[in-house]
Structure 1
Amino acid sequence: MTTVFPVAGLTLTSPTTGLVLAPDGPGSLTDGEERWPVVAGIPFLRTGRDELRLAALDAVDRGDEPLALALLLRDQDDWARIAPPSLAQAAALVGSIDRLTLRDAMAALNFGPVAHYFAHRWSAPTFLSALGLLESHWTDPPLVLEIACGIGQILRDLDRRGTAVAGIDVVFAKLWLARTFLLPDAPLVCADVTAGIPIALPEGTTILCHDAFYFMPEQERIALSLMEAVGAAGSILIGHAHNIRFEHGIAGRPRTPEEYAALFPGCRLHDDAELAAGAAPSRTADELAVVEAVSLVWSGSRTVPIDLRTPKPGTPLRPNPLLERLGDRLRPAWPTPAFAREYAAATYLDAPVPPGGLDEAVAGTAAVDDLARRRILLDLPERW
């Protein structure tokens, strides 16, 4: 029996052999050669972590899933600047998670500056540019798969609109936060896409990678595997890929617009900053020579209109916690100077206090929806 996710057609494959994975007990998968743990409903298919994989499997086989979870929560990516919590601290987090907020959990996981990024991502220009990229090239796909999905904020927006979604990230802890606070039912997989996409995708799938591709090693290899995975009927959207010509001080492996375009022959390019305001026209590589970040789409599919900035009627909304009232205006209270520099383009957050003040509201009226589109009101998770 193959392991099929809640979304029809999503079958897992081994990242090392390419063979279909089948259940091998309540907390593991096998292709007949190797076993992989499944903890908190998240398959751990990250390659290059054999010692960790075997330790987690041993804990699962002994019926100690809390220990397996604590072990996996300590695994980091290559760009982490802060040491992970100790095993005892990770175990304490597992035992107390039902009483914590998302921000509490990120602090316990030693996310550092990344915690600010995730806590306030809903109103960042880079989040809005992801919505603009999707709006510009929406094909009504049977599935949106986001690689390097983080804690699943973009996927949550799509999921709440009825789109089938799935996420892959190399950091198990981020997926666990997504499962706990944002996406309780969506299929999530911990894997390194350098080894390929370990999911058999339905025809017409859209693969999204936003504000992450420039971090990835072996980008040529990854680009080829993405194009192979979606085929002629699917789409690839790469958003907010940093331009190496721009002095940004960002880590990773950024490229020029021409170099990004060469990875995906025939793709269309965008200025990522233009997408933050909504659907935007394609640009040439020469036009993008000095912009901070580019986005691209590789697709031959017909697009259909969609509005991803207006929440569904009836959605509960809360005041953006990043904003503070100064007299008759709202202005962002940036958590750090570095955060302020990175998101200085979010001038839409400097706004007059709405008539009657700013309180919780429900989407569905022109005034409320306008505040939501400008990120003055946000659809935040319950335990933000």
Structure 2
Amino acid sequence: MKYTTTLIISCLIIYAVNAQVFVNQSLDYSVKKTEETLQLIPDKSKNIPRNINTNSTNWRFVNFRDWTSGFWPGTLWYLYEYNNDAKLKTKADEFSRLLTPLSEEPASDHDLGFQIFCSFGNGYRLTKNPEYKTIILKSADILATLYNPKVGTILSWPREIKKFGGHNTIIDNMINLELLFWATKNGGSKKLYDIAVQHAKTTMKNHFRPDFTSYHVVVYDTLTGKKIKGVTHQGYADNSMWARGQAWAIYGFTMCYKETKQPEFLEFAQKVADVYIKNLPKDLIPYWDFNDPKIPNAPRDASAAAVTASALLDLSTFVKDKTKQQDYFTKAQQILEELSSNRYQSGDRNSAILLHSTGHHPNGTEIDASINYADYYYVEALMKLKSFKKAGNP
């Protein structure tokens, strides 16, 4: 018995060491690819790399107004946190500051959380630069102006009110609540916390079908707040499970529990995670929409996988059931291992970190592409896994 116990302990130690090696190798690889990308950005350019399309080696660049503009500086901040390279810190600061105008003008949509918190939020976490804090707090106040108290949610796309026929809220918006929670804890109004909580509760009530799969968009009557319909914009159909949308839900409700400790958010996060996990293919990387009839010949979405891996790592630390803890943690690690394989890392094919993400399939854009938010959440999840391993977690 003593021999058996010693053998088990030895195996666990070896497994933990191997896992840490895998994480470090994946982060080293991410640094290498990011440095390659930095070399490709024109000198004195204000362009931010967004995506590389299939069979291309060229980045498509966007400006600070693009909804993805915060992910590139956010990735730089995470990698600076990993290796403490001053050059990465300088570039992270440089690209973050390009987004400063967003904190000085009216909100054009809900994406301020993605844009400001991924960039300046990570920057402040690592540097405590008071300029960053000011920008984050101002941005939170701006985001709050999109809140409709009659509906109980933040308006996602002001520009699409006419198209959808009312106040529209998309599941992606759950991620942006973190900006509001943070602001309240760091000198902002308590009202911001209350808006975030109400948005999450309204979304929980109206955004999900009986099987806990998510609509992409829910449309409300702007004046009465009554739910009109649930539809899709980027998924296969109104009643399908768009992979990244479900991933946003897992991440968003897990984050809401982390910030509020309200049990209903933890319970709900597990329900939306479980239906996602149940329907995954064997390699754990989802097709862009779980209900695309072309499966298995439909494109995958590595970005949804990366978002989910990051969320499951957090969720594993909150659930009380030991079996579920281990299941969520194991799934997250297995997802990251698959993303770190030569099937999903870009290797010598381009200078992004990952391949095989799907941006807007119905629009025919960024299909089977490399996309900056896939890279961001991949690196974020690796950093979480590294931290968990260092702390002696599973």
Instruction: Decide which structure has greater strand share.
Output: 1
Q: Say whether the fold is shared (TM-score over 0.5).
A: no
* TM-score under structure 2 length normalisation: 0.27
Instruction: Decide which structure has greater helix share.
Output: 2
